[in-house]
Structures are given as C-alpha cells and as structure tokens.
Structure 1
Amino acid sequence: MHYEIHGRTEADAPTVVLSAGLGGAGAFWTPQLPTLGQRCRVLVYDQLGTNKSPAHLPDGYCIADMAKELIGLLESLGIHQCHFVGHALGGLVGLQMALLRPQLLHSQVLVNAWSSPNAHSARCFAVRQNLLRDSGPAAYVQAQALFLYPPDWIAANSERLARDDAHALAHFPPTANLVRRIQALLAFDVEAELSGIQTPTLLIANRDDMLVPWQRSQHMAAVMPNARLALLNYGGHASSVSDSEPFNQILLDFLAERCGQVAAA
C-alpha cells in the first residue's frame, strides 16, 4: 500500500497512524499533518484498492481484511506500537485492530465511527450505492459533500468543493472496489466483543453528523471500559476538514495524556 511518513524523525518520537474513511485516501488528513507533525511521527496511507494503492478487492472483502493489511504494513516498517486515529470506516479498522492485535495500540481515536449497523446509516449508504449504480460516478461524487459537511460550510466553500469533486472524479476507484468497501462497512459488527476492548479510546462525534448518529459513539463510550466521548456541535461527518482547529486541539489533548513526548514538544 502507498504510505507517507511526516513530522518528527527521532527514534523515540511517538508514532500516530491516521486511517481515512470510505474514500481511503491518506490526503484526507492534510489539515492535521502540520499540527501533529510538530509533535509526532505521522503515518498516512491509501487503503488497498483506493487512490495510489491499486488492487482488485475480492468478494467477501471485509473490515478484518483492511485491519490485517494495515498490520502488515506496520510490521514491514518496523512499527511495533502506535497511536491510531480512524475516521468512520477507518475507525472500524481501529476497532478490528484492537481485537486482532491489541498490543499494537497505545491508544485509539475513533471519529464518527460505530460498532454495529444502524438503520439510518444503512439508508444513507443505500442511497449512495443507488447513485453509483443508476447515475454513475459523477452523481456519486457530487452528492458526497452532502453527507460529509454542514450546509453553511458547503455554501461557503463551493470553489474548493468543485476542485475536490474534479479530483475525486479523475481518480475515482473501480466501482466494484467501492461497492465491496461499502458492503464491508455495512456488515461490520463487533458488538458482542466491544466490552472486551481495553485500548484507551477517545470517541469523537458530531451532533450535526447526518451520516452516522452521534449516539453510536455515545454507546461505544458507555460499553468500552477505557473509553470516553468528546461531542462536538459543528462540523458534520468530516469535522476534521470542515472545522479542523477544535478537532485538532481535542486530538492533541488526548495524545498528550497518552504520550509525554507529545505534551513536551
């Protein structure tokens, strides 16, 4: 898989791994790189079958496969422990890693993620799949911002979104890969194992997220023994982009608790 390492280079620098959502692109985390890079070694990557990590995803592809791919990447780089930050689908990857290889994670931050299916998100993803199937990639890309960002942010950033849409359409993944990734996130269910995850966890959720109800994060914070919830009022599903300053501060404060180098940098 394509990956990039940013920020500090010292051997004792804490490593933070950033995992994007459905789009799978490491570039999703661009608003976090300058801040995190001053304090940590930061790994971003393009998930398999997306962007610069081309692959044919097989039938039955699942979140566990994505977690194993990332574990393999970290092993190949000699990274034996890290802090993990995952957005939406990326958060599911983190939960799966905490079950498969808990010793790998110092901590995890799960952003607008979930532990089992819910009817609202399933309806949203059904609409997205129907757009892709019936109207094609251009319609899918055009609708994407509606699921990710608040209306006022969309209205104020029309030129930026037009550039983003053009780039997304030019680098659109194979339709079969995208469908299998959606199927994987819809099938994800670790509810029965959730209370056994001991990894120190911060759940970040947005009240105005129209794709994933914020109560899904509230539920995980209540069930996981070492988890807590940070609830934001604004930013939509992708507040790390649309309202990055408060998001970054919450992220840094949590990492500072878990890692002395972050606090001292």
Structure 2
Amino acid sequence: MSPLHFEVHGPVDAASTVLLSSGLGGSAGFWQPQLGALIAAGHRVIAYDQRGTGRSPAALPAAYAIEDMARDVLEILDATRTAHCHFAGHALGGLVGLQLALDAPSRVASLVLVNAWSRPNPHSARCFDARLGLLGAVGPRAYVEAQPIFLYPAAWAAAHAKRVQDEVDHAFAHFPGEANMRARIAALRAFDIDARLADIAAPTLVAAAKDDVLVPWTCSQRLADGLPNATLNLMAHGGHAHSVTEANAFNSTLLAFLSRVSASAVPA
C-alpha cells in the first residue's frame, strides 16, 4: 500500500511520545491547537494524515475497517522507532486507539479518547444518514458545508465565521472522494468493542462535551464505566470538536493526565 504521511515534532530524546489521530476528516492539522502545548511540556509528538485522506492518498476498499486503521498506526510507530506511545484520538481516531489497545497493548502507554464511543447509537446513525444523503444527492460541496454544524456550537461557529468557512473551503479542495468517505463512515459505523472494554488496561482519559450534537456524551460515560482504568472529563460546552473550541481547557486536562500517567509509570 502507499506510504502514510506523518510528522514528528518536539525533542528527539523526549521521555514520552504522544501520537495524535484525528476524526473523520483524517488530517494531522486538526491537532494544531494541541501541538505547541505538548511540545512545550517536553513531549515528542507524532501526527499523521489517515490513509485515504489528505497527504496519504489511497483508494480504500469498501470493507476498510477500524482494524486496518490500527495497523496503519503500528506502521507509523515502527517507522519512527516508537516502542510505545500515549495515543490521543478524536471520535474515529478514538476508535482507532481502542482497537490498537486491544490488538497491541504493549504499544499503548495510555489513551485519550475525545468524544468517542464503544458501540453504535441511533442518534449518530441518523446524523451520518443525513450527511451521506447530502453527499449522494447534492455532492461534496454540500457535504463539507454541513460539516461545521456537527463539529461546532452555533455561537462559536458564528463568532469564527471566516475561520469556519476557510476550513470548509479547504475540506472541499482536499475532499478524498465519495468512495473513500463512504468507506470511512462505514468503518466507524461498524465499530463495536463494547463487550471487550474490560480487556483494555491502559490508563485512559475519556473527554467529552455535553453539547456535542453528533455523538451523545453518554457514549463517553459508557466508555468510562466500562474501561478498568478510566477518568471521565466532561465539559458543558465546546461541541464535537471541543479540543478546538475550548483548546486551553482541553490542553490543561490533557497535560495533567499525561503528567499523572508518567509519574505513576513503573521504571523499566
């Protein structure tokens, strides 16, 4: 398969590596609000464009699955000689982290799951049906124009109208194609590891915003209840992309979690 685009930031001799995996858009750029804070805290950081998106072009098979995306992460860890990482994933990226923790637990020092889930739910299914309906009936432009509705609170989107429109225009210019988008959505809709949550021992930060209109915050509550070593952080506002809209608060929680995990790690 074609190579994956990834970027390595921060000190090469850092004691820990944080790997960032974005949601459905697949772009490393989603994590820009976190990058500086993580580097300043002394972490080596890996961000990547997921296969079939952005700078990792590929024609995805219809049966492409979250398991395939987890194998892509292992490929990046091997390529960067990273024995294990703190894995942070947003939405679909969180699913990749959960799968990685099941398939290769020794490679995952901790998990950060942002507005993720362990099994399908009817509300998110309705949202994806509507988005796919737009894509099929009207086309990619309508699909990406609707995207901010699911990502951001209305007041934030209105106050940052130019930024939001620039993101929409960029998403349209780099749209991965209808077949790839359908394959990626099918993968996240098929994901269900609810019965295996107890098998994931990694320390986990579960982060969610209660005003997320795409993924109910109760999905994060279920993750926190089912994972043996989880901490739940709920924000009242911020939407599906609260790591962007409430970046300072999110970064503070993220760095505090990573610090606690590092402090409690048993020396090799």
Aligned equivalent of 2:145: 142
Residue 91 (str. 1) matches residue 94 (str. 2): yes
Could you give the per-residue CA deviations for residues 190-233 of structure 1, whole angstroms, max 9, x where no partner exists? 01111111111110011000000001110111111111210011
Letter in 2 for 1:17: L
Could you give the per-residue CA deviations for residues 34-92 of structure 1, whole angstroms, max 9, x where no partner exists? 10011200000000000000001012110000001111121122111110000000000
Tell me, in whole angstroms, the C-alpha distance in 2 between the residues paired with 1:53 and 1:146.
Answer: 26
Q: Which residue among 208, 213, 231 is the counterpart of 2:211?
A: 208
Question: After superposition, where does 1:238-253 map in structure 2 within 5 Å?
Answer: 238-253=241-256
Tell me, in whole angstroms, the C-alpha distance in 2 between the residues paired with 1:163 and 1:191.
Answer: 37
Aligned equivalent of 1:33: 35
TM-score, length basis structure 2: 0.95
Aligned equivalent of 2:58: 55
Question: After superposition, where does 1:71-86 map in structure 2 within 5 Å?
Answer: 71-86=74-89
User: Which consecutive unaligned segments of at least 5 residues does structure 1 have?
Assistant: none
Aligned equivalent of 2:118: 115
Aligned equivalent of 2:189: 186
Q: Which residue among 158, 161, 177 is the counterpart of 1:174?
A: 177
| Partner-residue secondary structure (3-state), 2:142 | helix
User: Which consecutive unaligned segments of at least 5 residues does structure 2 have?
Assistant: none
Tell me, in whole angstroms, the C-alpha distance in 2 between the residues paired with 1:51 and 1:233.
Answer: 32
Tell me, in whole angstroms, the C-alpha distance in 2 between the residues paired with 1:8 and 1:127.
Answer: 44
Question: After superposition, where does 1:224-243 map in structure 2 within 5 Å?
Answer: 224-243=227-246
Tell me, in whole angstroms, the C-alpha distance in 1 between the residues paired with 2:80 and 2:70.
Answer: 16
RMSD of aligned C-alpha atoms?
1.1
Could you give the per-residue CA deviations for residues 148-202 of structure 1, whole angstroms, max 9, x where no partner exists? 0001001101111111111111111111001000000000000111111111111
Letter in 2 for 1:2: H
Residue 196 (str. 1) matches residue 199 (str. 2): yes
Aligned equivalent of 1:19: 21
Question: After superposition, where does 1:154-165 map in structure 2 within 5 Å?
Answer: 154-165=157-168
| Partner-residue secondary structure (3-state), 1:259 | helix
| Partner-residue secondary structure (3-state), 2:89 | strand
**Identity score, percent:** 52
Letter in 2 for 1:59: A
Q: Which residue among 77, 102, 107 is the counterpart of 1:104?
A: 107
Tell me, in whole angstroms, the C-alpha distance in 1 between the residues paired with 2:70 and 2:229.
Answer: 21
Tell me, in whole angstroms, the C-alpha distance in 2 between the residues paired with 1:60 and 1:167.
Answer: 27
What is the Cα deviation at residue 260 of structure 1?
A: 4.4
Residue 132 (str. 1) matches residue 135 (str. 2): yes
How many aligned positions are there?
260
Letter in 1 for 2:165: A
Query: After TM superposition, where is structure 1 displaced by more than 3 Å over at least 4 residues in a row?
Result: none
Letter in 2 for 1:36: L
Tell me, in whole angstroms, the C-alpha distance in 2 between the residues paired with 1:258 and 1:112.
Answer: 21
